Amino acid sequence: YARREARTGHAHELDESKWQRFCESFPFEETPDQAAAIEAVRADMCAPKVMDRLVCGDVGFGKTEVAMRAAFIAAQNGRQSAILVPTTLLANQHHDNFRDRFADWPYTVEVVSRFQSAKDLDGIIARVQSGEVDILIGTHKLLQSDFGFRDLGLLIIDEEHRFGVKQKDAIKALRAEVDILTMTATPIPRTMYMCMAGIRAMSTLSTPPSRKPCAFSRCA
């Protein structure tokens, strides 16, 4: 954390017209908390400082959309995003959500999981290393040493407390180099202490959506 604080981060730039188009394509009404979290993430990523922000909110309160806006900012600047999740099921859910959300944009979304063959995995790794993949979603496979990103600018961690010691060591190795956005519904005491102490920034989503159809979880 001291190394991250001392580093000069990448100040992302935004095409305002494209940013507005992407924001307006969100099929639900933003809650005040969600809008504030999105603006905080945007400010973090556009500042010359490495981001380390925790977004805390219950399931369905809009954490994933915050992550999508962050990934859009990174992609707009030609930088890759990695989304680390604890289970294969969640990886596939995120892949469907991100693919749908970015369907109208020239950004490639891929997923790595245990359901893929070694040949398919090798093909994705090669495309990630060449920069053909903009957003990569997966489980602990993303932390394998043979996974080399061409220009990783953003690491999104879903439920960090569900990863083991070895995985957390690999995450720590990345923290001094890239922007970090952590999402959780149940932050562990250590994480909460670091946020309260000002070591990490935190946004809280405490307002439930005004309307929540069954498909909300696909874009929330």
pLDDT of residue 213: 45
Q: What confidence category does residue 141 fall into, taking pLDDT thresholds of 50, 70 and 90?
A: confident
Average confidence (pLDDT) over 15-33 = 94
Q: Which of 40, 37, 36, 42 is nearest to 11 (CA)?
A: 42
pLDDT tens readout for residues 142-175: 877 667 888 999 999 998 777 766 776 677 666 6
Residue 92 has pLDDT above 90, yes or no: yes
Going from the C-alpha of 18 to that of each of 29, 109, 173, 205, the distances in angstroms are: 19, 18, 33, 25
pLDDT at residue number 214: 41
Q: Per residue in 191-210, is it b (16+ CB within 10 Å) or e — as a string?
A: beebbeeeebbbbebebebe
Say which residue, 101 or 208, is predicted with more confidence: 101
For the segment 185-213, the average pLDDT, to the nearest whole number, is 69
How does residue 208 score in pLDDT terms, banded at 50, 70 and 90?
confident
pLDDT at 169: 67
Task: Using the predicted structure, report yes or no on whether residue 217 has a pLDDT greater than 70.
Answer: no
Quickly state the pLDDT bin for 76 (edges 50, 70, 90).
Answer: very high
